[in-house]
Amino acid sequence: MLKLLLAFAVAAFAAIPAGAKVASETPNQALADLQKAAQVEELPAVAAEVAAEPVAERFWIKVQAASREDRTAIATAGMAIEEEGSDQVAGTAHIKTIEKLQALGFKVTYRMSLQKLLKDFPSQDKVYHNYDRMKAALDALVSAAPDMVSLFSIGKGWQGRDIWAVRFNTTESGTAPSKKPGAFIVGNHHAREHLSVEMPIKIAEYLAAHRADPAVRKLLETRDIYIVPMLNPDGAEYDISTGRYQMHRKNMRINPDKEIGVDLNRNCDSFFGGAGSSGDTYSDVYHGPSAFSEPETMALKNFLDARINIKTINSFHSYSGLIMYPWGGKEGAVENAADLKAFQAMAGAMAKLAGLKAQQSNVMYVATGDCMDWAYAAHHMYAFTTELNGGSFYPGAAEIDKETPGEIKAALYMIEYSDDPRRAAADLTAAN
């Protein structure tokens, strides 16, 4: 195992999750292609050391941004904004995206090669779930409560890994339809957001462990609950595959120019290809060749299309400390006043329970192709996006325990109101 020390002035990148060894025994062709491509490209001065790393051309940058319009334009140029300040944003960008931003007149005040962020996997973080351990955790739930827990694949990633869904339903199992109101919890649209895998697993484990508690039992008997911890299994494995952290956000599509990946949360058919996403294959917010072009987003679409009994969704990301609701991909609030009230009531309550801040998705900037926007527009599902806390993509094992209790409460709340999300607003009014 390589030990690369991290000297990072901005965020405390504490620790790297996941298992020490990668499951796949087959050579990673995508990685090989990418390394080849990285070797022939001229490297920027800041990363002058010769490197055959896929991250060689990608940077952590800070850009001056005084307004929401600036932030949207910066995201549209292809930067993945991860941190926002009053007058600047920080995040990841390809060297060509940096050039684009500069050509547009934006001031890039800081940049550091992502190579400098490469780290070893400290043993104390092995509690994070890689693909095999995630699958094993779901298998264990089925073994523990076969009368109400079942497991099935909703599709596969580019590299063939199954996207596993665990289901809690006391009367139906597997892919059999249910008339009960449904709730859906999903993690890991974005590969490097490993904490977003942990919360769905923790919620599933809580439901199974507490299935005899009267309150939990009642939810399990009256709801149809689906949990997909790892929507982007290929990307998640790639991020930890070399023993060194890749800071990889997208899936593992090999684009025609050999650049890797599509941003799954810019690829859904909701204002596809507009603001806050990029047509550049090297961009971290590359939206892909067409809406639902990716097997992972198509799996998500097929899954939800077939289960319109699902009324609520929580999609986990990290690490902005927010819970958000549509719209993300266009200006303004959702047009239906009753829906807006329900979104606000539920997001507000879940934020309180989980220690997050509730806001409309487009408050910081507009981002099109958002899968939660699509779920709401296509199926009237009350779809939330949770950005967990943690302050970095690799916040260490302790962050799991910090986030879990609040997220379990928020999940129970969401599952409870899945029969009629508008009831949340009425209950809130009655309580005030």
Q: Catalytic residue positions?
A: 387
Name the nearest CA neighbour of 134 among 120, 151, 111, 112: 151
Residue nearer to Zn ion on the CB measure, 161 or 190: 190
Residue 39 CB neighbour total at 10 angstroms: 13
Residue 266 or residue 311: which is nearer to Zn ion going by CB?
A: 266
How far is residue 137 from each of residues 21, 126, 197, 200, measured CA to CA in Å?
17, 14, 12, 11
As a whole number of angstroms, the distance between CA 162 and CA 54 comes to 24
Report which DSSP code applies to 260.
Answer: B
> Closer CB to Zn ion, residue 62 or residue 317?
317
Residue 205's contacts (CB-CB under 8 Å, 6 or more residues apart) are: 137, 141
Structure tokens at 341: 């009230």
Q: How far is CA 195 from CA 16, 198, 200, 227, 305, in A?
A: 10, 5, 9, 15, 27
In whole angstroms, how close is the CB of 7 to Zn ion at the nearest point?
A: 25
User: Rounded to the nearest whole angstrom, what is the least distance from the CB of residue 320 to Zn ion in the complex?
Assistant: 9
Q: Which residue has the tokens 């260490």?
A: 396
Among 190, 211, 253, 341, interactor with Zn ion by CB under 5 A? 190
- Nearer residue to Zn ion within complex by CB, 264 or 425: 264
With CB under 5 A as the contact rule, which of the stretches 60-68, 183-191, 376-384, 418-426 interacts with Zn ion? Answer: 183-191
Pick 80 or 299: Cβ nearer Zn ion = 80
Q: How far is the CB of 345 from Zn ion (least distance, A)?
A: 24
The least CB distance from residue 220 to Zn ion, in Å, is: 29
Residue indicated by tokens 């709730």: 183
Separation CA 279–CA 285 (nearest Å): 8
Return the residues of window 192-231 that contact Zn ion according to CB under 5 A: 193
Q: Which stretch binds Zn ion (CB under 5 A): 124-132, 182-190, 304-312, 327-335?
A: 182-190
Binding mask 145-164 for Zn ion (x = CB under 5 A): --------------------
Cα dihedral 267, 270, 276, 280 sign: positive
- CA–CA dist 219, 212 (Å, integer): 11
Calpha distance 255→275 (Å, rounded): 21
- The stretch near Zn ion (CB under 5 A) out of 104-112, 184-192, 370-378, 393-401 is 184-192
Segment interacting with Zn ion, rule: CB under 5 A, options 167-175, 292-300, 311-319, 410-418: 311-319
Q: Using CB under 5 A, which residues numbered 89 to 128 contact Zn ion?
A: none
Q: Shortest approach of Zn ion to residue 413 CB, angstroms?
A: 22
* Nearest residue to Zn ion, scored by beta-carbon proximity: 317
Residue 250 near residue 192, CB atoms below 8 Å: no
In total, the chain counts a number of residues equal to 432
Instruction: With CB under 5 A as the rule, give the number of residues binding Zn ion.
Output: 3
Query: Is 102:394 a contact under the CB 8 Å cutoff?
Result: no
Residue 317 contacts Zn ion per CB under 5 A: yes
Stretch that binds Zn ion, among 37-45, 95-103, 187-195, 406-414 (CB under 5 A): 187-195
Minimum distance from residue 91 beta carbon to Zn ion (Å): 11
Least gap, CB of 317 to Zn ion (angstroms):
3
Neighbouring residues of 14: CB distance < 8 A, sequence distance ≥ 6: 392, 394, 395, 396
- x-or-dash pattern for Zn ion, window 327-366, by CB under 5 A? ----------------------------------------
Residue with Cβ nearer Zn ion (15 or 195): 195
Within 10 angstroms of residue 279's Cβ, the number of other Cβ atoms is 13
Number of CB atoms found within 10 A of residue 44's CB:
16
Q: Which C-beta is closer to Zn ion: that of 38 or that of 93? A: 93
Between 135 and 317, CB nearer to Zn ion: 317
Residues 64, 365: Cα–Cα separation, whole Å: 14
The piece of 15-23, 69-77, 98-106, 190-198 that touches Zn ion (CB under 5 A) is 190-198
Closest CB 193 distance from Zn ion, rounded Å: 5
Contact 231, 193 (CB under 8 A): no
Contact positions toward Zn ion, by CB under 5 A? 190, 193, 317
